[in-house]
Amino acid sequence: MGEDAARLAARLVCFGFDGYTPDAHAREMIAKGCGAVIIFDRNIKSPTQVATLCADLKRLAAPRPLLVMIDQEGGRVRRFRPPQFSDIPAAAAIGACSDPVKAAGATGGVIASELRACHVDMTLAPVLDVNTNPNNAVIGDRSYGSDARVASACGTAFIDALQAGGVAGCAKHWPGHGDTEEDSHDALPASRHGLRRLESVEMAPFRAAVSANVASALVAHLLVPAMEPEAHRPASCSERCVTHLRKNLRFGDGVVMTDDMEMGALRGIPWPDREGE
């Protein structure tokens, strides 16, 4: 691969690293031209420290922009935690309250203000999976609930407030991780529903998010035979699944990313041997 092609490919890579300051790995990835970095608990000590870290990462990449992202959903998936940051409730608590749409919008606004103050550009939220399977521990209370209409309305309110506050949102986990039992951090789950059911339930919140001009979408490591008939090929590696999002939901040229490529769901896939091609 030529140098120009390598740098163009690097623009599509989001990396993580260890520590409270840019380490050698972070500096190397930025020098190679990587387009984004994700911040985890291991990078956060205090608001001042993480704001300085994110600013330093951006300065290292300048004059090229560097997208700084984080998983700040609320509940058990939040990197900015109390008492130094706001105590953001889980989506399930929001979906079950007396005015879930108002609560979702308020949550999106608070998250935007805190992330923006720390130079974070994007949160990988909201979770738009419709939680129709009570055995689905990996999603569970990260979802607004089992009603696609509630998930759609809450997701839209969250996106509107978040993005009005200057932080990009991310609709996940396309095309819907709500009715699965395996945890894609450890194994490759499957959604066995037909396309009609997927479009009426699982995809409905994503359609609403696209209408709300969500900045990006994250594709799950998830088998969806109704969309991708090739055995062992998850949605995250499926042109068909991504094309359905872009064309059928009219996401167009919106940013589409995979879930973490180090997750266990991808480890056991029997990829074809391409040696010598």
% of the chain with per-residue pLDDT over 70: 97
- Block residue for tokens 């050698």: 24
Question: Would you kindly state where each structural domain of the chain is located, as residue ranges?
Answer: 1-69, 71-266
- Average of per-residue pLDDT across 247-276: 85
Task: Report the pLDDT value the prediction gives residue 265, as an integer from 0 to 100.
Answer: 87
Task: Report the pLDDT value the prediction gives residue 181, as an integer from 0 to 100.
Answer: 86
- Block residue for tokens 């190679």: 32
Task: Report the pLDDT value the prediction gives residue 1, as an integer from 0 to 100.
Answer: 58
Task: Report the pLDDT value the prediction gives residue 231, as an integer from 0 to 100.
Answer: 87
Rounded CA separation 205/220 (Å): 15
The pLDDT confidence band at residue 44, using thresholds 50, 70 and 90, is very high
Task: Report the pLDDT value the prediction gives residue 151, as an integer from 0 to 100.
Answer: 98
Between 22 and 270, the more confident residue is: 22
What is the tens place of the pLDDT at every residue in 101-144?
999 999 999 999 999 999 999 999 999 999 999 999 899 999 99
- Block residue for tokens 């167009």: 252
pTM of the model: 0.94
Task: Report the pLDDT value the prediction gives residue 115, as an integer from 0 to 100.
Answer: 98
- Structure letter (DSSP) for residue 89: P
- Average of per-residue pLDDT across 75-92: 97
- The residues annotated as belonging to the active site are 185, 259
Instruction: Give the torsion sign (CA, 246, 217, 144, 220).
Output: positive
- Average of per-residue pLDDT across 52-57: 98
Is it the case that residue 7 has pLDDT exceeding 90?
Answer: no
Is it the case that residue 277 has pLDDT exceeding 50?
Answer: no
- Average of per-residue pLDDT across 174-193: 92
**C-alpha triplet 107, 153, 85: angle, nearest 5°:** 10
Pairing of strands 72-74, 77-78: antiparallel
Long-range contacts: 11-15, Cβ < 8 Å, 24+? Answer: 11/35, 14/38, 14/67, 14/69, 14/257
Per CATH, is 71-266 categorized as 3.20.20.300? yes
The pLDDT confidence band at residue 212, using thresholds 50, 70 and 90, is very high
Query: Which residue in 57, 63, 10 sits closest to 37, CA to CA?
Result: 57
Q: What is the DSSP string of 99-137?
A: SHHHHHHHHHHHHHHHHHHTT--EE---B------TT-T
Rounded CA separation 86/71 (Å): 15
The pLDDT confidence band at residue 249, using thresholds 50, 70 and 90, is very high
Between 108 and 3, the more confident residue is: 108
> Contact 256/245 with Cβ under 8 angstroms?
yes
Task: Report the pLDDT value the prediction gives residue 273, as an integer from 0 to 100.
Answer: 64
H/E run at residue 240: helix 239-243
Between 7-11, 83-87, 192-196, the lowest mean confidence (pLDDT) is in 7-11
Beta strands in the chain (DSSP E): 14-15, 36-39, 67-70, 72-74, 77-78, 122-123, 170-174, 216-219, 255-258
| Residue 256 tokens, joined | 């589409």
Task: Report the pLDDT value the prediction gives residue 272, as an integer from 0 to 100.
Answer: 67
- Structure letter (DSSP) for residue 168: B
C-alpha dihedral over 227, 148, 222, 180, to 10 degrees?
A: -120
- DSSP three-state, residue 189: coil
Is it the case that residue 3 has pLDDT exceeding 80?
Answer: no
Is it the case that residue 268 has pLDDT exceeding 90?
Answer: no
Name, in order, each residue with C-beta under 8 angstroms of 157's C-beta and a sequence gap of 6 or more.
101, 102, 104, 105, 108
The pLDDT confidence band at residue 219, using thresholds 50, 70 and 90, is very high
The pLDDT confidence band at residue 276, using thresholds 50, 70 and 90, is very low
The pLDDT confidence band at residue 35, using thresholds 50, 70 and 90, is very high
